Amino acid sequence: MTDLIDIHGVCAPGFEAVREAFAANFTEAPEGLNEQAARFSVLVEGEAVVDLWAGHADTARTTPFTDTTLTSVFSTGKAVMAILMASAVEAGQIDYDQPVASLWPEFGAAGKAEVTVAQLMSHQSGLPGFSEAVDATIWFDVSAVLSRLAAQAPMWAPGSASGYHPITVGYLANEAYRRATGRTMGQALRQDFPELDLWIGLPQSEHARVAQMRKPTAAPSLGAIDPIKQAAFLDRGSAPGGRGSAAWREMEIPSANLHGTALGLAKMLGVVANGGALEGRSVLSAGTLDQLTRERIHGPDKVLPYTISWAAGLMRNDGLKVFGPNEAFGHYGWGGSMAMADPSRKLSAAYVMTRQSPHLIGDPRPKRLLDALYAAF
């Protein structure tokens, strides 16, 4: 089967079944989601045991997808956002238990004065979208977004439940982070992790490396629609639009528009998998890592049709079982991308692709790869 597609990269002995599964996703993918291009990277104790890529970076199939091709990973970037916030906690600049309003007084309006940083990161603040439909170009005006969200009343009692914030959480977390540290998350990512090919706010000089995405043919399944889900995903202006892809790539939206490689994502999630360390340097202490990964809320999510255990910005595998069989942490992105960490095996992995599925969590292609991966142990 591996002869049917030109696969590049490395696959250590014992992981041949992962390569077979990767190849099968191009020719016999679940749900007919045959890949156009994809990459799957797996690190154990920080060393690559699998790093495979194949396909074309453009829909015309003229440009090979390479190890330097960038893809938009949408909400998978929330895992990076969570680690960046944890690094500010590690530095003593932010406390998970402090009210967001202590950093950003305006945020405390309309019943949000007690919302903590941890509640914000775990989708409990009640601001999954705008309470009224807006023009989609508002997302390109950061100050307008922040002013509107800060003044808005929560859509449920903060701290009582989670309700996935697809985009707004990135603006809110980035503003809290900026006020606490003096830097945006995009700036911190490039300054503190320059060795990783990950970008929140992609400069124009890097745009030529970005792969073209093939959008899904169906909308995500959200279950019964109510005003909360409407605001998060379905209202006019619930997602950025109207300004073109270049402007969108250059924006800093930590929750939604990270561009990067699977290897870069796997390395960043290695911080969670390897006791807070990245390539020999300590990023998070054991105490901060525990604060990042411990459960903040567990129950039926008000936006996504799942019962979810949320850490401080990471999804916990408990109940979902979308990150393999063990206790693990990570995030999925719209269309299929995924990054995860399994501390029990000191394993981190990431999957990126260019053909998007309707799935928000648990795309069957990375699940197939993870099944093959864990079968190798």
pLDDT for 58: 95
Maximum Cα–Cα distance across the chain: 60
The contacts of residue 92 (CB under 8 Å, 6+ apart) are: none
DSSP-derived 3-state class of residue 264: helix
The tens digit of pLDDT for each residue in 103-137 reads 999 999 999 999 999 999 999 999 999 999 999 99
pLDDT of residue 28: 96
Contact present, 340 and 324 (Cβ < 8 Å): yes
Instruction: Give the separation between CA 161 and CA 234, rounded to whole angstroms.
Output: 21
d(CA 54, CA 345): 27
Confidence of residue 360 (pLDDT cuts 50, 70, 90): very high
Q: How far is CA 46 from CA 258, 324, 349, in A?
A: 22, 18, 10
Segment 327-339 mean pLDDT? 97
Model confidence pLDDT, tens digit, residues 196-237: 999 999 999 999 999 999 999 888 889 999 999 999 999 989
Indicate if the pLDDT at residue 2 is higher than 50. no
Task: Answer yes or no: is pLDDT of 325 > 90.
Answer: yes
Q: Does domain 2-375 have CATH number 1.10.3720.10?
A: no
**Amino acid identity, position 94:** I
Mean pLDDT value of segment 148-163: 98
| Contact criterion met (CB below 8 Å) for 167 and 234 | no
pLDDT, averaged across the chain:
96
- Residue carrying structure tokens 């999630």: 269
Mean pLDDT of 169-185: 98
Domain boundaries, the chain: 2-375
Report pLDDT digits (tens) over 72-100: 999 999 999 999 999 999 999 999 999 99
* Residue 314 banded pLDDT, cuts 50, 70, 90: very high
Beta strands in 142-296 (DSSP E): 198-199, 259-260, 277-278, 281-282
Strands (E), the chain: 8-11, 37-44, 47-55, 71-72, 198-199, 259-260, 277-278, 281-282, 297-300, 307-310, 315-316, 329-332, 338-342, 347-353
